[in-house]
């Protein structure tokens, strides 16, 4: 099955169909390496006491996950959230596991959406996964708002559509594919954590990849005939620089608000600085940044996760240039200059 991207002159193959199984097998080597790195970091930061507390939390997580992942009917247990009900993937060690155990995901960033979004907005959610943020976005933009949920991974798409149906959400358009800086097809590298799938291979993604449809956000906006774009959310594991390159026409025309994870360890601090300088040239300012390392419901420093600083201060900050800290950045063009 194929679809045509407006203005591109190309017919693009669909990514659905041949890739029914998404997750590679969970190997002991993969888990051991991930856990060892985590505990070494914890020991350096918090000492022996921090390691003990982390082990206790991990054991509790494993116990609750093992019980709750088999609860309910069918192949996808449900989690009840304030924004609605979500069916999750019982094989997913990422967002699904976090939701099953803690009933929330990125709580600091989630709270900010209520202040950043407005009723009636048109939202493009890039990397919608199983729909956690889509539920929260729809709750704010309401019936007058429109959401375009873009997701390339087949199992995520299946759960996303299921969650939209079970919550009775209208005005949400699911687009199967990946946003990039070209129109065609590319490789999606898969991880055992579904929110770590990436269009570029990383230490968090496994060696397995599937072919998916790729298009620029500019081409998607044209194809769907969107008269406006008010907000774009993206979490792309280092691929954010490519996505911005493919949405410059949308930025010039609409100046949408942006909520995007920035991954200096993957994209490189210099590339992130270049991306932010580009956005700065279009009038963007930084409203908040959220330290991803602290943005967990169990973290004792969750209250410190959100910072406020100017975009100029951030691009010169040690946390970006030297530490390479992963953050969620909320950016907007002030109304006086939009």
Between the CA of residue 156 and those of 76, 149, 198, what are the distances in Å?
11, 11, 13
Report pLDDT for 2.
37
Residue position matching structure tokens 């996505």: 243
- Tell me if 320 sits within 8 A of 314, measured CB to CB: yes
The pLDDT mean for the chain works out to 85
Query: Residue range 34-47: average pLDDT?
Result: 61
Report pLDDT for 138.
96
Report pLDDT for 3.
38
E strand or H helix that includes residue 36: helix 28-68
Closest CA to 327 of 296, 301, 295: 295
Helix (H, G, I), strand (E, B), or coil: what is residue 10? coil
Report pLDDT for 212.
95
Could you give the angle at which helices 132-141 and 154-166 cross, rounded to 10 degrees?
40
Closest CA to 228 of 148, 138, 113: 148
Report pLDDT for 25.
41
Say what the pTM is: 0.83
Query: Residue range 58-79: average pLDDT?
Result: 81
- The predicted-structure confidence for 246-277, as pLDDT tens digits, reads as follows 999 999 999 999 999 998 888 889 999 999 99
Q: Is the pLDDT of residue 27 over 60?
A: no
- Tokens (6 digits) for 59: 């054991």
Q: Which band of pLDDT confidence, cut at 50, 70 and 90, is reported for residue 4? A: very low
All structural domains of the chain, each given as residue ranges with its CATH number in brackets, are: 104-332 (3.40.50.150)
Residue position matching structure tokens 């449900």: 78
- The predicted-structure confidence for 49-63, as pLDDT tens digits, reads as follows 666 777 787 788 888
Query: Residue range 33-62: average pLDDT?
Result: 68
Q: Where are the alpha helices (DSSP H) in 132-247?
A: 132-141, 154-166, 217-224, 240-245
- Tokens (6 digits) for 306: 């959100």
Lowest mean pLDDT among 111-125, 132-146, 209-223, 263-277: 263-277
Closest CA to 176 of 207, 214, 138: 214
- Tokens (6 digits) for 208: 């397995």
E strand or H helix that includes residue 314: helix 311-315
Tell which wins on pLDDT, 141 or 46.
141
Pairing of strands 285-291, 327-332: antiparallel
Q: Is the pLDDT of residue 74 over 80?
A: no
Tell which wins on pLDDT, 27 or 72.
72
Q: Which band of pLDDT confidence, cut at 50, 70 and 90, is reported for residue 21? A: very low
- Tokens (6 digits) for 92: 């997913």
Q: Burial-class residue 207 by CB neighbours within 10 Å (0-12, 13-18, 19+).
A: exposed
Helix (H, G, I), strand (E, B), or coil: what is residue 179? strand
């Amino acid at each position: 099955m194929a679809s045509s991207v407006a203005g591109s002159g190309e017919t693009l193959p669909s990514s659905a169909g041949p890739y029914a199984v998404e997750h590679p097998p969970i190997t002991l080597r993969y888990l051991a390496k991930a856990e060892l790195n985590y505990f070494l970091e914890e020991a350096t930061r918090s000492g022996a006491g921090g390691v003990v507390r982390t082990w206790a939390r991990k054991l509790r997580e494993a116990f609750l996950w093992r019980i709750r992942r088999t609860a309910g009917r069918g192949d996808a247990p449900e989690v009840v959230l304030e924004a609605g009900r979500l069916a999750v993937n019982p094989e997913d060690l990422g967002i699904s596991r976090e939701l099953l155990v803690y009933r929330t995901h990125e709580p600091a960033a989630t709270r900010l959406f209520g202040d950043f979004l407005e009723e009636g907005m048109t939202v493009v959610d890039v990397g919608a996964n199983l729909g956690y943020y889509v539920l929260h976005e729809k709750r704010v933009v309401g019936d007058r708002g429109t959401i375009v949920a873009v997701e390339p991974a087949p199992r995520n798409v299946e759960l996303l559509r299921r969650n939209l149906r079970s919550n009775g959400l209208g005005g949400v358009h699911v687009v199967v594919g990946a946003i990039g800086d070209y129109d065609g097809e590319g490789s999606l590298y898969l991880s055992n954590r579904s929110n770590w799938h990436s269009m570029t291979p990383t230490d968090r993604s496994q060696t397995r990849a599937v072919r998916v449809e790729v298009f620029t956000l500019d081409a998607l906006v044209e194809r769907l005939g969107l008269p406006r774009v008010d907000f774009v959310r993206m979490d792309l594991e280092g691929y954010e620089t490519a996505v911005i390159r493919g949405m410059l026409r949308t930025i010039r025309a609409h100046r949408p608000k942006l909520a995007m994870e920035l991954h200096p360890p993957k994209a490189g601090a210099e590339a992130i600085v270049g991306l932010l300088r580009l956005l700065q040239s279009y009038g963007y300012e930084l409203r908040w940044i959220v330290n991803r390392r602290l943005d967990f419901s169990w973290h004792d420093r969750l209250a410190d996760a959100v910072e406020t600083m100017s975009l100029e201060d951030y691009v010169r900050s040690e946390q970006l240039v030297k530490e390479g800290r992963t953050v969620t950045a909320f950016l907007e063009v002030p109304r006086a200059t939009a």
